[in-house]
Structure 1
C-alpha cells in the first residue's frame, strides 16, 4: 500500500498540505490562549495612598520673630599709652569692678614734675611782666607792639604749662566709665610708648544683643519694641530694640539689629549666644507638630492638607513660634483638614483615600 502511495505524488502532496494546515491552526490557537480576550477588562489600577487627617481651626496668636544673637558688652575701650614712660604701679587688679575716674595703672613721671615747677614759675614771671607792660602802656611809656610781644610770651608760657600738666596727667591711667577692668597687657617695669595698648575696660551693667534680620522681616521691626532674650540655660532677660541698620550687609542681604538689656547684677554674659524673641503683632495661626513641616523645592517650610476632593495640597507657612513640641504657623486656611499621618508618602496634587483621626469606619 505504501508503495502505491509513493507512486502517486499528488496524493503525497495532499497529505502534506493537510498536515501543514493543522499545524498552523493549532499554533495560532495556543498563541491566542496566552493573550487576554479582547473583551476582558483592563488590570485593576494600584490602590490609592491612604492618609489620616484632623480638622484644625486657626487661633489668634502673637506673631513672634525668633532669631539667634550674640551678647556683647554695652561698650568696651582699649586704653593706650600717650607718653614714653615705664609702668611703676599696678593700682587695681584686672577683673575687678571699677568706677569712672579710678586709677588703674601708673606710669613714671620722669622729669615731668620738675618741668611742671619750671613752667609754673615761668608763667608767674610772664604774668608779672605783662602786668608791668600794661601799666607802662597806660602811661604811654610803652608801644603797642612791645605790649603785644610781652602778652605773646605770656601765652606761650601758659601753653607750655598746660602741655606739661597734660603729660603728667597721662601718667595715671583712669577708668573712663563704670565697668570691669577686663584685661591688662603690660607688667610692672615695662617700658611703653605712645599708642601701645595697656589695658581694657568693659561696661556690663548694660548689655547689647546683636543679630541679623532677613530683609523680608525687617519691615515688621521698630525702635523701642520689647524683646525677650533667652539664654542657653533657659533664663530670660527683658530688652528693648534700640538699633536697626539703615542698609543691609551686601554679602547676606540681612540687617544688623541691637537690643539693649539691663544687667544690674553685672552677670558675666558678654560673648555668650542667646535667642531673641520679638513680638511683631497678632496673626491667625495653627498649632502643628514640628514633624508635620516639610520643605518645598525652594526650601520654604510648609504643611500638607486636603481639599474637599481629597487631593493633597501644600502651602508654604510662616513660622511664628517653634518649640520641641509645637510649631505655630500662619498662612493656612482658617479651617483646614491637616494631614497628620502618611504625609511623607504623598505629594501635592495627589488623590488619596483619607480617614479622619479618631473616626471608626
Structure 2
C-alpha cells in the first residue's frame, strides 16, 4: 500500500514540491547569514521654499519731535522789601527798562532821618577812635578801651549800611534789561514786605523747554540746530543749550532747553511749540508692513535668510510709515528678506530661497 502511494504521480509531485521549498529556504537562510541586508533608500528631505528679495540699507535723517513750552529768558517778580505806601509809579506795563532803572517809589516812613542819624553816629565813632589811637601811642589809653571803641565803630558802620539799604529799597530797581509785563499795585496802595509789585521779563531772547525720551538723548549734542514750530505755523530756529544729566523719575525722559533769539520781541512766551531736533542719520530699509511679525518674546521684527540659507529673525524699530512702506532700522546693511512663506518656517530652519536677485 505504501509503495503504491509513493509510486502515485500526485505523491511524487508533492514530495518534489516539499524538497524544492526546503532547498529554497535553506538557500535564503544561508545567504542571509553570509550577506548583510541591503540598505533601504532614505528619501532625501525636501527643503521648504520661500520667496525672498534683497534689500540694501539707505541713510535716513531721523528727527526727534517733542512738545515744548516757550518761556521768557528771564522772569522775576519784584516784591516789596520795605513796608510803605506807593506814592509814585515810574514805569507802566509794557515799558522797556534798563538794568538799574528805578521802577516806583514808596513812602519814606522816616528812613531818610534814620540814615542821617546813622551817618552822624558813624562820624562820631570814627572821631572817637582816631583820638583814642593818638592817646594810645602815648600810653594814656589801655588796649581794652581801644578795642571797645573799635567795636562801637563797627556797629555804627553796620547801622549806617542798614539805614542806607532801607532808603534805597523804597525805590525798587530793575535787576536786568527787560519789559514790565504786569503791574500789581497802584498809587496809594499800602504794601508790606514781600508784597508783589511788578513782573519783569526778558523776551529779546527766549527759552524753550521739552522732554526727550531716554533712548534718543545719547544722539543729542549741545549747540546743534533745533527747528521750532508755533501753533500758528510760524517757524523759528534755535540752538540746544542744555541737556539734563538725570532723567525724570516718573517719565524716564530728559529735560532740555533750547535758546531762541527774539529780536522782534514776538509775543510768544508762555505758548506751546513743537520741537524738531535732527539726530544722526541711521541705516534703514523700506519694507511692506505685511513683512513684519512677532517672535516668541513678542518682539517686532523681520524674517530673513543668511548665507547658509537659514532663517534669521531680526528685531526692528519702525521709524516712519507712509504709502510707500514702513522705514525700519535694526537690519544689516544688505539682507535677504523673506517676502513669501515666512509663516511656514521658524528661526534656524534651512530653506530654499527662490526668486532672489542679489
State whether structure 2 residue 236 is matched by structure 1 residue 237.
Answer: yes
What is the Cα deviation at residue 301 of structure 1? 12
Write the deviation string for residues 82-112 of structure 1: whole angstroms up to 9, x where unpaired: 1111111111111222211111121111201
SS of residue paired to 1:180: strand
Compared CA separation, residues 316 and 192, structure 1 to 2 (3 A): same
**How big is each residue's C-alpha offset from its partner over 1:28-73, in whole Å with a ceiling of 9 and x where there is no partner?**
xxxxxxxxxxxxxxxxxxxxxxxxxx99865322222111111111
Deviation per CA, 1:147-197: give whole Å up to 9, x if none. 222222222111111100001110111111111111122221111111222
- 1:66 corresponding residue in structure 2: 65
Cross-structure match for 1:10: none
User: Which is higher, the Rg of structure 1 or of structure 2?
Assistant: 2
Alignment correspondent of 1:140: 139
Please report the TM-score for the alignment, with normalisation by the length of structure 1: 0.67
- Using the TM superposition, give the Cα deviation of residue 323 of structure 1 relative to its aligned residue in structure 2, in angstroms: 9.3
* Whole-Å separation in 1 of the counterparts to 2:323 and 2:76: 41
- Shift in alpha-carbon separation, 1:167–1:294, aligned structure 2, 3 A: farther
- The separation in 1 between residues aligned to 2:95 and 2:142, in whole angstroms, is 62
Distance in 1, matches of 2:336 and 2:234, equals 36
Equivalent in the alignment of 1:246: 245
In the TM superposition, 1:28-67 aligns within 5 A as 58-67=57-66
Return the alpha-carbon distance in structure 2 between the equivalents of residues 324 and 164 of structure 1: 75
4+ residue segments displaced more than 6 Å: 54-57, 291-297, 300-307, 321-327, 335-339
Q: 1:153 aligned to 2:152?
A: yes
In the alignment, the residues of structure 2 paired with residue 241 and residue 324 of structure 1 have an alpha-carbon distance, to the nearest angstrom, of 33
SS at match of 2:103: strand
Distance in structure 1 (CA, Å) of the matches to 2:183 and 2:195: 12
Unaligned 5+ segments in structure 2 are 1-52, 306-312, 346-358
Query: 2:63 is paired with a residue of what secondary structure?
Result: strand
CA distance in structure 2 between the aligned counterparts of 1:247 and 1:330, rounded to whole angstroms: 27
Aligned twin of 2:193? 194
Whether the 8 Å CA contact 1:318–1:331 is kept in 2: the answer is: no
Provide the secondary structure at the position in 1 that maps to 2:185: coil
Structure 1 runs not aligned, ≥5 long: 1-53, 308-312, 340-347, 352-361
Q: Residue in 2 aligned with 1:228?
A: 227
User: Compared with structure 1, are the counterparts of its residues 101 and 160 closer, same or farther at alpha carbon in structure 2 (3 Å cutoff)?
Assistant: same
Task: State the partner residue of 2:317.
Answer: 317
Asked if the contact 1:205/1:263 (under 8 Å) is kept, the reply is yes
In the comparison of the two structures, how many residue pairs are matched? 287
CA RMSD of superposed structures (Å): 3.9
Pick closer, same or farther for the CA change 1:288–1:112 going to 2, 3 Å: farther
